[in-house]
Chain A
């Protein structure tokens, strides 16, 4: 079943075309990686899919409905969440509070209920705290619930970003370089986490440079260069694609291209 389909996505910044009619389609339950040299447009693609940038051309459909004209918070509510390459947690809030903020769009208590402290309000606050703690535990941060986010170690901050994104109950999770700065042991844990998230029914789209992770978990790989999609296929197919090798390593010496 098709979960996301983006067709002809074009995004320009002044004279620079960051994305040039890119097509991307994701089936429910897939893990797809986007790779490409720096400046290829990978993060721009994430910003377009989450509604941060409006597209100059093209359409994005998410589970059958157009989302390219929706504001960011509505897209989140439809079920797309993301993490950032440069971690963007709410630094002075505790780990638990960060996840609780992620629960925001799945809860409803109104201002009046909060002001008059109705029983329903207390019930909902308890439910938020409880389910948020479960999300923290699922990424192994159960014992850090009360630590302010900025005091967590780098790896824990990355894990917390994932927990916070999962708290919005996404059907599609976009992860921007989740492996950055991790050692090989942490990498292994991350790959297990990704596979577990997929088993729970979440489709994953990753931007990743670490080929061990890309090749280890992806069902498909999409390669971007200079805003264009130059290849797409299984990890094995992409690895031997000559255009991809060129994009990464340059034109082989002696060729006359």
Chain B
């Protein structure tokens, strides 16, 4: 098989684009797991609703396909998905706190089906996401670089850098880390744990909403069931990086994106890409069951 440097570069760029989107979604899974030890399986619908919301906004407002417009759309999608995550926490999870671990899991699956079907009843077909101001390519030497992909990668990195600064440097970020390490002790330090949990849902949802808009831009369409596959992939990324670890989710997302697109580019048939990506996941977990950056939680008391 003929492999040129150009093809490799293209696949790496595809991988980083996909990976950025996976990583943004994965952060929502991993952060909520960090503070509650629970997988929010309705998280993929926050991603879908961010995308569909972005589409709806652009349909209402055709002038939105500009730089200023896209900022507004990102803002609305992020705040919208964030508020929805808060609502979900309030109605589907908070009332079940303290119940067996399977109960909120079922509630999450129920919430996921509910949200999908609400959107399905509204629009059951593929919805075309209008192309934005970013289109075409620019050249770096012999290499073709897509503006859109560069835009997606930069936005996802921008969001992740800000999240990291927030968690590392601010008082609320420290409160989140404290709650995820030991919620009881954090509460004794005067931290209102339920509010920190709500904040975590909001931030996770907002990042998922942003990923939804990026995904809509990338594939040019959105649909009520678009959350499923990226949701599973992002959850996988979070596990690959170490569930509960924020840098882990970022690393896992980019790694899975790269594995997938390199798999698609170099395996005999592109359909093998998921097989390849998941085989790597299984191998990693065999040797590092807690994920690449995860901690083994067998601490003695």
Contact = CB atoms under 8 A, between A and B. Distances in A.
Nearest to B177: A93
A104 B169 contact: no
Nearest to A92: B181
Q: Most chain-B CB neighbours within 10 Å: which of A50, A72, A84, A92?
A: A72
Given A101-B175, A104-B175, A125-B170, A88 B191 contact: no
Contacts of B171: 100, 103-104, 107, 109, 114, 124-125, 128
Interface stretch (B39-47, B146-154, B182-190): B182-190
Q: Most chain-A CB neighbours within 10 Å: which of B170, B199, B299?
A: B170
Nearest to A110: B172
A30 interface: no
Interface in B280-301: 295, 299, 301
A168 B189 CA distance: 7
A111 interface: yes
Contact of B190 (A77, A86, A124): A77
A100 B174 contact: yes
B189 A111 contact: no
Q: Most chain-A CB neighbours within 10 Å: which of B173, B182, B188, B199?
A: B188
Contact of A101 (B174, B299, B301): B174
Given A91-B181, A92-B181, A93-B181, A104 B188 contact: no
Interface size class of B (residues with CB under 8 A): 20 to 34
A59 B231 CA distance: 50
Nearest to A78: B190
A90 B190 contact: no
Contact of A104 (B174, B182, B301): B174
Contacts of B295: 92
Given A73-B193, A111-B199, A101 B186 contact: yes
Contacts of A101: 174-175, 178, 186, 189, 191
B166 interface: yes
A125 B193 contact: no
A90 B169 contact: no
Q: Most chain-B CB neighbours within 10 Å: which of A88, A103, A104, A109?
A: A104
Given A86-B301, A101-B174, A76 B181 contact: no
Main secondary structure, interface of B, reads helix
A125 B192 CA distance: 19
A104 B185 contact: no
Interface size class of A (residues with CB under 8 A): 35 or more
A109 B172 CA distance: 8
A44 B173 CA distance: 31
Contacts of A88: 182, 184-185
A249 to B, nearest CB: 30
A164 B189 contact: yes
A52 B299 CA distance: 22
Q: Most chain-A CB neighbours within 10 Å: which of B171, B174, B189, B299?
A: B189
A89 B186 CA distance: 10
Contacts of A106: 190
Contact of A90 (B172, B178, B192, B299): B178
A71 B177 CA distance: 20
Contacts of B187: 71-73, 76
A256 B184 CA distance: 47
Interface string B140-177: 00000000000000000000000000100111111101
A81 interface: yes
Given A52-B184, A125-B169, A105 B191 contact: yes
Nearest to B299: A91
A109 B177 CA distance: 17
Contact of A105 (B169, B190, B199): B190
A97 B173 CA distance: 11
A233 to B, nearest CB: 30
A108 to B, nearest CB: 9
A228 interface: no
Contacts of B299: 91
A88 B181 CA distance: 10
B297 to A, nearest CB: 11
B192 A73 contact: yes
Contacts of A115: 166
Contacts of B175: 101, 104
Given A72-B184, A90-B182, 20 more contacts: A50-B188, A71-B192, A81-B188, A88-B182, A88-B184, A90-B177, A90-B186, A91-B181, A93-B178, A101-B178, A102-B189, A102-B190, A104-B171, A104-B174, A104-B175, A109-B171, A111-B172, A115-B166, A125-B170, A168-B189
Q: Which 10 residue pairs across A and B have the least CB separation, nearest first?
A: A105-B190, A76-B190, A72-B187, A114-B170, A101-B178, A88-B185, A90-B181, A73-B192, A73-B187, A73-B190
22 contacts: A73-B187, A73-B191, A76-B187, A86-B301, A90-B177, A90-B186, A92-B181, A97-B174, A100-B174, A101-B175, A104-B174, A104-B175, A104-B189, A105-B190, A114-B170, A114-B172, A115-B166, A121-B170, A124-B171, A125-B169, A125-B170, A168-B190
